[in-house]
């Protein structure tokens, strides 16, 4: 909550605002004026107006209603401007300039001065060396990047170490017809790092899942503890697998690769990890849309055997269980599919059929099933079982994931209806399986302690 003035400001000052298109100070201003609140261009050496707003010479001259400053100024004067922000009572700042800790000793010194000024003035600083953040629902675009208003509003927050990767994710979301509640590139993390961002978006009511991109931090334990404390599901993309460090002697230090520690740590602290931007978004979408899964048992319903096998294969590799269905469910399935298909788990219907929805319903309600995964190729005469799925998620309180294939123009509208029912949809068998696998890993990594084998958990907590 401490960084509210940064991520949920009431007004914005664009420091270094410019009238020259293409300059950061112009692009940031153009984005900023989309915001439904006061926006001031600040530039001591400019006069007149930009985007119909009058220049003010300093942040100390802007009104009380401004609590976020976007710094479009060269690195060397950044610490002074932050100091002025502190004097002006501006509690949040975004620093786009590079040339700080990432750029050698002089840069480190400069970042040191910046951090000092930020702490002294109680300014929460995003960056430096960041492309900023955005909050589409508020039309808040604290960035110099262009075409950002194309990114729709949604319910996942992107917290990325790299601004570039943050945009890669946000635009992937847009391309997929999805949106984000927020997109943040952390950059050099002068004062606002993973912990502050995760805590903020954990408390954000528009955020139902947090997508984390991590290259490395000097406080990995703190990050893990913050993730464990968060109530909002988090999924992480941990990069750097090939950087295994010195393969020296067979000793503990040399074996303790950072990538492996992140993977182990995220598993231990309840965070599923993925291996690509696409998978991160798919997993995050599933976690944000679905009820929390109680366990790793997946009931698969497929209208085609091949995709069903591909799905089952991938689920098992991810640690999912494909439980035997109860006798009651099997009876329902057998009655609907008399003897011609595979009615264990996966249930294979052979092709879409009018009763497909009833079979999904039966499997989703099965007490042995924690997650239902459905695959069917689209058939025009039958369509999707939207009526059968309606209300099912709420009734069973379990995740249902829907994967399909068919002509884009035909399936798009119907899939939007399925998504509106709280069922995430995916266009390949593997993507559906991976999304379900993320739910499974989330369940496995967040089991209640008494469900963990052994039963002598948490003894050292009292030591």
Partner 1 sequence: MTETDPAGARDPIQAALADGRTALTESEAKGLIADRGLPVPGGETVGSADDAVEAAARLGYPVVVKVASPTIQHKSEWADGAGVAVGLDDAGSVRAAATRIFEAAADRGIDAAALVEEGLDVEAGLEVIVGGARDPSFGPTVLVGLGGITVEVLRDVSRRIAPVSTAEAVEMTCELEASPLFDGYRGAPAVDRTAVAEAIVTVGDLLVEREAVREVEVNPLLARSDGAVALDALVSLEDEP
Q: Which residues bind partner 1 (CB under 8 A)?
A: 216-221, 224, 249-253, 255-256, 258, 260-261, 264-265, 268-269, 452-460
Ordered DSSP codes for 128-145: SS---EEEGGGTEEESS-
Residues near 25 by beta carbon (within 8 Å), at least 6 away in sequence = 14, 16, 17, 18, 43, 72, 73
Q: Which is nearer to partner 1, 225 or 430 (CB)?
A: 225
CA separation for the pair 277, 182 (Å, rounded) = 16
CA separation for the pair 17, 45 (Å, rounded) = 10
CB atoms near residue 168 (< 10 Å): 18
- Could you tell me the end-to-end alpha-carbon distance of the chain, in angstroms, rounded to an integer? 32
Question: Three-class SS of residue 40?
Answer: strand
The rounded Cα 148 to chain-centroid distance in angstroms is 17
CA separation for the pair 287, 154 (Å, rounded) = 13
Q: Which is nearer to partner 1, 19 or 260 (CB)?
A: 260
CB of 445 to partner 1, least distance (A): 12
CB of 231 to partner 1, least distance (A): 21
Q: Which is nearer to partner 1, 64 or 457 (CB)?
A: 457
CA separation for the pair 322, 345 (Å, rounded) = 6
Tokens of residue 428, six digits: 């390949």
Q: Which is nearer to partner 1, 380 or 455 (CB)?
A: 455
Q: Which is nearer to partner 1, 214 or 336 (CB)?
A: 214
Paired residues of 405 in beta bridges = 377
CB of 119 to partner 1, least distance (A): 22
Paired residues of 182 in beta bridges = 157
Q: Which is nearer to partner 1, 52 or 463 (CB)?
A: 463
CB of 280 to partner 1, least distance (A): 22
Q: Is 455 exposed, middle or buried (0-12, 13-18, 19+ CB in 10 A)?
A: exposed
CA separation for the pair 148, 390 (Å, rounded) = 34
Q: Which is nearer to partner 1, 269 or 384 (CB)?
A: 269
Q: Which is nearer to partner 1, 387 or 448 (CB)?
A: 448
CA separation for the pair 48, 71 (Å, rounded) = 20
């Amino acid at each position: 909550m401490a960084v509210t003035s940064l991520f949920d400001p009431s007004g914005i000052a664009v420091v270094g605002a410019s009238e020259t298109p293409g300059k950061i100070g112009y692009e940031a201003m153009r984005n900023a004026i989309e915001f439904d609140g006061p926006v001031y261009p600040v530039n001591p050496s400019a006069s007149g107006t930009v985007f119909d707003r009058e220049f003010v010479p300093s942040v100390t001259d802007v009104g009380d209603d401004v609590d976020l400053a976007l710094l479009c100024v060269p690195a060397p004067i950044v610490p002074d401007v932050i100091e002025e922000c502190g004097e002006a009572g501006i509690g949040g700042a975004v620093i786009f300039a590079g040339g700080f800790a990432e750029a050698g000793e002089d840069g480190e010194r400069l970042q040191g001065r910046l951090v000092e000024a930020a702490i002294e003035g109680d300014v929460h600083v995003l960056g430096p060396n960041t492309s900023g953040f955005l909050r589409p629902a508020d039309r808040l675009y604290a960035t110099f990047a262009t075409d950002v208003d194309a990114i729709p509003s949604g319910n996942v927050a992107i917290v990325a170490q790299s601004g570039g990767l943050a945009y890669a994710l946000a635009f992937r979301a847009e391309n997929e017809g999805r949106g984000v509640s927020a997109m943040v590139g952390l950059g050099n993390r002068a004062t606002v790092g993973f912990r502050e961002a995760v805590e903020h978006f954990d408390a954000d009511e528009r955020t139902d899942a947090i997508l984390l991109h991590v290259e490395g931090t000097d406080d990995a334990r703190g990050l893990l503890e913050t993730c464990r404390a968060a109530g909002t599901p988090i999924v992480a993309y941990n990069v750097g697998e090939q950087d295994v460090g010195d393969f020296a002697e067979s000793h503990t230090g040399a074996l303790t690769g950072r990538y492996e520690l992140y993977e182990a740590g995220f598993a231990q602290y309840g965070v599923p990890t993925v291996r690509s931007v696409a998978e991160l978004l798919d997993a995050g979408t599933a976690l944000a849309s679905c009820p929390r899964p109680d366990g790793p048992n997946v009931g698969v319903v497929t209208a085609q055997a091949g995709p069903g096998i591909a799905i089952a294969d991938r689920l098992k590799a991810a640690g999912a269980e494909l439980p035997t269905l109860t006798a009651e469910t099997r009876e329902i399935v057998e009655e609907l599919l008399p003897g011609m298909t595979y009615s264990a788990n996966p249930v294979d219907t052979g092709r879409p059929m009018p009763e497909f929805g009833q079979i999904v319903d039966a499997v989703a309600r099965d007490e042995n099933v924690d997650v239902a995964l459905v695959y069917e190729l689209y058939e025009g005469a039958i369509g999707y079982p939207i009526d059968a799925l309606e209300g099912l998620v709420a009734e069973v309180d379990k995740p249902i994931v829907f994967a399909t294939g068919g002509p884009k123009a035909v399936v798009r509208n119907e899939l939007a209806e399925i998504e509106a029912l709280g069922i995430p949809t995916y266009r390949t068998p593997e993507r559906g399986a991976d999304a379900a696998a993320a739910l499974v890993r989330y369940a496995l990594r967040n089991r209640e302690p008494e469900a963990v084998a052994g039963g002598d958990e948490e003894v050292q907590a009292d030591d």
